[in-house]
Amino acid sequence: MGLIASASKAIRLLASRRYTSGDLTTAQEAFTSVLDISADEIYIQQNLLPSTGLPFSGSSQNRSTYTTGGKTVLKYWYRHPLTKSNVDRDVWFFVNPSGSTDGVTPQLIQSGQLTSFTSNKYSDVSLTNAVAEDATPGYNIVVYKSTATDTSSLDSGDKVSINDYQFDYKTGVLQFDANKPGASDRIYMTTYQYVGQTLATNLSTGNTNALFTATGSAFSTGTSGTDVQVTGSLYLKGDLTIENLGTLANRDSAGILDFGDDFN
């Protein structure tokens, strides 16, 4: 065979198997990590996203943010105008501010292109079909197609059927696979966006000279042979509480300094 079998390759990569040759079967390929994920793509505050009682649903709340426990994790976009591809009108991008009316190239990620929108995977099952403009809002997007430039004039007749498009919540790309917008049509979207911390922003906070920094609480239960050890500097900001202190020792060239139970 020898040549790349595209369908077989896609299936193997999705199943976390390596693709080397169409001459091998899927079962013969090795398991491996095939997804290249950067630290700035890993959410670490997804547990703070509300699964019910989503806070925004109307025009007056456009670009509002949701904060809980002092941490901002959501942003609401109400009927934001999308930017079309300059190749055709079947692909649209969530760019802020909106891009050229002539469209932008789909080959490059635009400087203002937004990503990390919140899908209903984070909502309670009761909100499976709820959209971001409902009286009881959910995380599903709302898409409008109209020639109007005033979003307040949009109505239910301008809503695009969910059967006409696919939206990639991770990359913010809207793709039409039916009823492609016409030359004079504009596309608007209402959606929630994750704006909480990622692994990258978490690692970049605090004292950059320290070996490890943590925002919030860091908890470890050590067992025999798995004690938490730090080589280098440890930077603590805030209160330090030590319970059940046994022996606190400082080992140096002079020997062991043992404070024992008298340490306070």
User: Which pair of structure tokens corresponds to residue 212?
Assistant: 């490890």
Q: How many helices (H) and strands (E) does the chain have?
A: 2, 10
pLDDT tens digits, residue range 167-188? 999 999 999 999 999 999 999 9
User: What DSSP letter does each residue of 225-246 carry, written as one string?
Assistant: T------S-----S-----S--
Beta strands 165-168; 142-146: pairing state: unpaired
pLDDT of residue 2: 56
Torsion of CA 123, 204, 172, 195, to 10 degrees: 40
pLDDT of residue 228: 64
Report helix, strand or coil for 202: helix
pLDDT of residue 209: 44
pLDDT of residue 21: 86
H/E stretch holding 67: strand 65-68
pLDDT in tens, the chain (264 residues): 457 889 999 999 999 999 988 888 999 999 998 888 889 899 999 999 999 999 999 999 999 999 999 999 999 999 999 999 999 999 999 999 987 788 999 988 888 999 999 999 999 999 999 999 999 999 999 999 999 999 999 999 999 999 999 999 999 999 999 999 999 999 999 999 999 999 998 776 644 444 444 555 555 555 555 566 666 666 676 777 766 655 555 555 555 545 455 555
Tell me how far apart the alpha carbons of residues 174 and 94 are, in angstroms, rounded to a whole number. 8
pLDDT of residue 207: 42
Domain ranges of the chain: 6-36, 41-194
pLDDT of residue 147: 96
pLDDT of residue 33: 85
User: Which pair of structure tokens corresponds to residue 178?
Assistant: 């039916």
Tell me how far apart the alpha carbons of residues 1 and 238 are, in angstroms, rounded to a whole number. 63
H/E stretch holding 201: helix 199-203
